[in-house]
A and B are shown apart, each in its own frame.
Chain A
């Protein structure tokens, strides 16, 4: 077995271990939650109507049977793994009998679209500006821009969102503050619908971009500041290599490697959604779905979302681990 194969097998073993541990913990935590889905459904059913106590007891029994909550914890755990392997998380308890996977399939495209777009924009902008600021350290414009980014960085993203909502949604009502697309417009890949999605997603995305820019900027500026003093950069400068080439080929490219790990981790986390931004802008997505599931004691749904999220993060880490030796020869395989 050569070194690379052994390395990949070790990483695969870690991947399986992370998945097993993460999913098991998620199962235990959600099943030990004090929120009971049957009681939550009963509350919904009896909150507003007259409630005959005898009928409530009968309803409690019927719902427990309907939701299939019989069996001890271990039996439910074994059944759960069986369903996970079939990519079937069973019926949602708060939207019974709709399969959890259907609810996730409805919500996921919105979250993926919003988060992938905003993460990539943040990544590109943050790293670009950070690299430029680290390389062109005397540029006054970049200094001012850096100060602006550093000022925004500590502000919580929900506060940035609230400011954008009031400023661009009310004081200057340019952008919509609610929803994922124009109401009553047929969804599809036509220009009008795509524009509508972009238009409605602008403020949520902008709040995420502004909130996330600082992290990438600071990291990249520090990395570049270190790389520019490396011997190979000095040699290149002494050899008369053009500044633009030194920046793009010698400095930025080397500084990018650790940032790529961070990007993979962030992309892996998108399945958890971004709860506060979705709440603030009434944006459809996984975060809202997860919160509803938690509040309603719908552990099928919560487990579905968290399991997919665990798989995504673990897979992203695996991918980076496997790709790293190929792009960075400094990583030892042995």
Chain B
């Protein structure tokens, strides 16, 4: 009796004490003035030096709210509106042969400690990093810059080692860029590689208020002199967001709960199932990039089936095309994203300016494209396949799928390759492969088998996509084993230690048709033998003379020339013909916004800013949000 009484008393006391111990979610910050964003954990929370690898979490607000540089490109935008002059007063000015770039800087910008921002800060940024190998932008500056000078406080002149029409992109933010260092701070430290830059001196509208020594959160406060910053100058009145909290919010399930509890306004990414839960349970207090299903935000990256072009069995475009034609993209979309994927047949992500610049104008070419299988020709492109996916999910999400066919294309994609096992078999036969039983022999007489490498649980949607594709290849006579590589995934891709893999080797500006962002590294000059580290992007190890010619011409064309998009189309057509890798879809992220306290989030209807919490462009969203009074 006594034991039972004691036991029940203990449980009762705990139940009573718990509510008494309850505290405000964040000490000392009015919730209605505070925007809470999912951030990454900082391994070394004391580190705010963005210019040296120190284990700090640069995307915990440091690069989004405090740092600044010359220009930004809105990855969601298109045309002139996507370009934003930040610290620079105008676009970059090159001489005729692109060996010199002049930058005009805005006047009236100050660091948060009251020091004026001048051209000397830019010169110091470049010279200091060149003098300290190991700093984050040391290598590109060393390769490109012969000298840098400041004729006056608001002009910087870069003299380059060789012609480079894209040099300004080092200072142009997509996700990040070379941030400007405060000369008056770093000139006082002994070693810029080991200086923590704590507390950071801000060049943008927010300044560090407090942070967790364990790297769980960082709080940023609106500067009193916010109007003396590049972003502040664009505003008519003070931003309503007084505090921004970047916090780690736990595992994906916990993030869903935190947003449903109104403790997390902006989520970076959750599983599709989590997104659907939020929409179903809190649709009235939730906003997202797409107004209806699939609710996702497509990043300007392109998950694809990478094919190792340097392997004999994958060196023939006919074999690569055969593998593409064995994929049923509808099953991949349903199985990986439960239909919430934005499929892509072209080798650029179907986002931002790529829609008007490439996807829309190239539809006719894709529909008319003829593929010679060796035993005849087929027109492999099915422009209705995304619509078929929309039909598949309609029974569950009917009301939230818009009728507008144009909007549907931005949600589900345009078209993709029609699965065609007969054409794939014809291609393999024409490439010298022979059928044996249910399988195939290579021209060398070896069984044609594949491995398909995925990272694993870290990106579950892509791991699922890889598993489904492996099943489809296996069912069509090419036994395929899924290899889960975990943290060694990118390293194995780097050295060509794979046959096929799910990853992305194409990333674009999003808001600009120029493809040099990834394409420059596809030049054959940078190709290395198997076993050696391939520079990022061309992990397919694709080599093609026509491709080289496109890249070389792109280097000589001004960034904003109409020729840039033409060259982009030439690359895309070549990529269809050669199929060096098989583009699958945009990297859809499920990033819902809680509208309990804040409204005015960007969306596909009003893409004024990036919405991804880790993207530096999100600063343009933070200053535009409005209070709901919630």
The smallest C-beta distance from A46 to any residue of chain B, in angstroms, reads: 5
Against B, the Cβ 8 Å flags (1 = close, 0 = not) of A69-113 are 000000000000000000000001011111000010011001000
CA distance A190 to B312 in the complex (A): 68
- Measured between beta carbons, the chain B residues less than 8 angstroms from A328 are none
A96-B53, A139-B3 are contacts. A183–B247 as well, Cβ < 8 Å?
yes
Number of contact residues on B: which range applies?
35 or more
Q: Which of B55, B257, B488 contacts A166 (CB 8 A)?
A: B257
A31–B82 Cα distance when bound, in Å, is 46
Give the shortest distance, in Å, between B398 (CB) and chain A (any CB). Answer: 28
What's the nearest-Cβ distance from chain B to residue A166, in Å? 7
> With a CB–CB cut-off of 8 A, which chain A residues contact B215?
284
Closest Cβ–Cβ distance, residue B512 to chain A (whole Å): 12
Identify the stretch in B248-256, B388-396, B416-424, B592-600 within 8 Å (CB) of chain A at 4 or more residues.
B248-256
Whether B21 and A199, one on each chain, are in contact in the complex, defined by CB atoms closer than 8 angstroms, is yes
Q: With contacts A48-B174, A182-B27 known, is A95 near B535, CB below 8 A?
A: no
Does A330 reach chain B (CB closer than 8 Å)?
no
Which of B18, B43, B260 sits near A289, CB closer than 8 Å?
Answer: B43
Query: Measured between alpha carbons, how far is A96 from B135 in the docked complex, in Å?
Result: 11
Q: Please tell me if A240 contacts chain B, counting CB pairs below 8 Å.
A: no
> A160 interface residue, CB < 8 Å from B?
no
Knowing A50-B517, A51-B521, A177-B258, the reply to whether A35 touches B487 (Cβ < 8 A) is yes
Cross-interface CB contact of B216 among A170, A177, A279, A284, cutoff 8 Å: A284
Q: Which among B3, B55, B214 is the interface contact of A141 at CB below 8 angstroms?
A: B3
For the complex, give the distance between the alpha carbons of A55 and B22 in Å: 52
Q: How far is the CB of A102 from chain B (nearest CB, A)?
A: 8
Given contacts A96-B53, A282-B216, contact A165 B254 (CB under 8 A): yes
**Which residues of A sit under 8 angstroms from B29, Cβ to Cβ?**
184
Q: Give the contacting residue for A282; candidates B18, B28, B254; CB below 8 A.
A: B254
> Known: A39-B491, A92-B43, A294-B487. Is A183-B217 also a contact (CB below 8 A)?
yes
Task: Give bound CA distance, A195 to B22, whole Å.
Answer: 9
B18 touches A174 (CB 8 A): yes
* Residues of chain B within 8 A of A292, CB atoms compared: 41, 43
Interface segment, one of B85-93, B136-144, B149-157, B581-589: B136-144
Q: Is the CB of B18 within 8 A of A178?
A: no
Q: Bits for A265-301, please: 1 = Cβ < 8 Å to B, else 0.
A: 0000000000000011110100011001011110000
Q: Whole-angstrom distance between the alpha carbons of A54 and B215 in the complex?
A: 34
CB of B250 within 8 A of CB of A34, answer no
**With known contacts A50-B516, A53-B535, A180–B216 Cβ distance under 8 A:** yes
B159-203 Cβ-contact flags toward A at 8 Å (1 or 0): 000000010011000111100000000000000011000000000
- Using A43-B490, A45-B136, A182-B27 as known contacts, say yes or no to A107 and B142 having CB atoms under 8 A apart: no
Cβ of B25 within 8 Å of any chain A Cβ, yes or no, is yes
Interface string of A7-49 (1 = CB under 8 A from B): 0000000000000000000000000001110011111111111
A319 CB within 8 Å of chain B: no
A199-B54 in contact (CB<8A): no
**What is the minimal beta-carbon distance from B455 to any residue of chain A, in angstroms?**
11
Identify the closest chain B residue to A206 (Cβ).
Answer: B14
CB A114 to nearest CB in B, in angstroms, measures 13
CA distance A61 to B133 in the complex (A): 9
In the complex, residue of chain A having the shortest beta-carbon distance to the beta carbon of B169: A50
A145 to B10, CA, bound (A): 14
Chain B: minimal CB distance from A40 (Å)? 8
Contacts of B521 in A (CB 8 A): 51-53
CB distance from B481 to the nearest CB of A (A): 19
Which A residues, 289 to 334, have Cβ-Cβ distances below 8 Å to chain B? 289, 292, 294-297
- Among B26, B216, B517, chain A packs the most CB atoms within 10 A around the CB of B216
Tell me if A55 and B140 are in contact (CB < 8 A): yes
A237 at interface, CB cutoff 8 A: no
Are B214 and A49 in touch, CB under 8 angstroms?
no
Name the CB-closest residue of B to A294.
B487
User: Contact partner of B47 among A42, A95, A282, A294, CB < 8 A?
Assistant: A95
Bound form: Cα–Cα A63–B136 in Å:
10
| Separation of A8 and B477 alpha carbons in the complex (Å) | 67
Please determine whether A183 and B26 come into contact, CB atoms closer than 8 angstroms. yes
Contact, CB under 8 Å: A174 / B249: no
B250-301 at interface with A (beta carbon < 8 Å): 250-251, 253-254, 257-258, 260-261
**Chain A residues within 8 Å of B176, by CB:** 48-49
Residue A218, interface by CB 8 Å: no
Q: Which residues of B contact A49 (CB under 8 A)?
A: 174-177
Contacts of A260 in B (CB 8 A): none
Whether A152 is near chain B, meaning CB under 8 Å from some CB there, is: no
User: A132 at interface (Cβ–Cβ under 8 A)?
Assistant: yes
Closest B residue by C-beta to A292: B43
15 further interface pairs, Cβ-Cβ under 8 Å (given A92-B55, A165-B253): A49-B175, A54-B143, A57-B535, A62-B134, A66-B193, A96-B53, A98-B47, A174-B18, A178-B254, A179-B217, A184-B28, A195-B21, A282-B216, A284-B215, A292-B41
Q: List 10 A-B contacts (CB under 8 A).
A: A35-B487, A45-B136, A57-B535, A65-B133, A92-B55, A95-B43, A96-B54, A185-B23, A196-B23, A281-B254
